[in-house]
Amino acid sequence: MNIANFVNRCHLVSGYYAGHVRLSGFPVHLKIELTNFCNLDCRMCARQKMTRQVGFMNRDLCYEILDWASRHCCEFVYLHFLGESLYHPDLQKIVRTAHSRGIRVGLSTNATVLDEAIAHGLIDSGIDLLVIAVDSPRQDQYEFLRKGASWTEVIENTLRFARICKSSCSRTILVVQMVHCDLTADEGVEFLKFWGDNGLASDKFRLIVKQWDDWAGQMAEVREWNTKTSPSVLRDLRPCVLPWRELSVQWDGTVVPCSRFFDKQLVVGSLGSSDLTRVWNDDEMVELRCAHLKNSTASVPVCQGCPRQAMRPWSYLRYDQFALRLRHYCSTGNRVPKRGLS
Ligand code: SF4
């Protein structure tokens, strides 16, 4: 166990329980948006509501963030927010840089452009986790949900990636994910069987049936497809753990508290004029933590509509953010829908 990282986690957990709003620990998890460009128009994606400009993160900005992360006990970086990260021209260099700084790194992809060269490049650069969204085991359903994608191509790309992972003895973990909603409610067993029959039921591979998510109530369309399968969402009245755990940086350097603020609904800083150390304890983050502690999030409508994420102190202290993710995905053979991760 890395002692500095453990001490950092202790600071965050004690800060949460003591009700501290300026923290001595630093975020253990960063989400970095390499781009918000995407080639698809998926029905459940918050990009449908996104009004901000489309662009690509400058490579040097990304390196600056990774440098900061490696000096501040960040344990896991997710190179994805909205958009398809495989389109970023420097993706492999960025993954390699994160890896060389000792940060575990992952991303989520629609796999439509995951050809052989990109697959080898990602694995060789040391990516720890690749999540591929294949939302249904049925072609018609998949192509309905993932508007613009070809099921045949995505299956081929996913199986090729799995084969390369196996043959290169890489440490990359591949997760294949489907969404659970009214349209796919009876497909869980079929999904697990399909990928199991294709050799993706082993420790190197994980399968997850993910509960469809309405982005903290901001995607009414998603609710329409999710009237029977959506669990009744009880809003947790405890402070959400995310303001004590992570930050998300959009491609242009705008910092938001979490991915639910996908359209800059609450900006807590900008890396053009500030840095992550300052942003983490600056007034906007302090006010957000205060609002959660007092359970008065009326000033933060996104949090108001969100079920919030609970603090699980023992797991938080015991496992790093990468290990926690793997535990969440460790659902091979289990078709019970799980909540997605931020
Ligand atoms: S309550 Fe929801 S929107 Fe607010 S910080 Fe937590 S996860 Fe994000």
Which is the closest atom of ligand 1 to the Cα of 306?
2
Q: What pLDDT was estimated at residue 26?
A: 98
* d(CA 241, ligand 1 centre) in Å: 8
Yes or no: say if 244 and 26 are a contact pair by the CB < 8 Å rule.
no
Sign, CA torsion 230/235/236/238? positive
Pairing of strands 254-256, 269-270: antiparallel
Cα gap 275→244, rounded to integer Å: 17
In 3-state terms, the chain is what percent helix, strand and coil (to 5)? 40, 15, 45
For residue 322, the tally of other CB atoms under 10 A from its CB is 20
216 lines ligand 1 (CB under 6 A): yes
Q: What pLDDT was estimated at residue 233?
A: 57
Q: What do you get for the CA distance between the two ends of the chain, in Å?
A: 24
* d(CA 86, ligand 1 centre) in Å: 27
42 lines ligand 1 (CB under 6 A): no
Q: What pLDDT was estimated at residue 179?
A: 86
Q: What is the pLDDT of residues 313-338, one digit of tens each?
A: 999 999 999 999 888 876 555 667 77
240 lines ligand 1 (CB under 6 A): yes
Cα–Cα nearest to 87, from 109, 64, 104, 63? 109
Q: What pLDDT was estimated at residue 117?
A: 97
Pairing of strands 205-211, 29-32: unpaired
Cα gap 26→120, rounded to integer Å: 33
Closest-CA residue, ligand 1 atom 3, reads 303
88 lines ligand 1 (CB under 6 A): no
pTM: 0.94
Closest-CA residue, ligand 1 atom 8, reads 258
**Residue 315 φ/ψ, nearest 5 degrees:** -65, -40
Ranges of residues in the chain with a pLDDT under 50 are: none
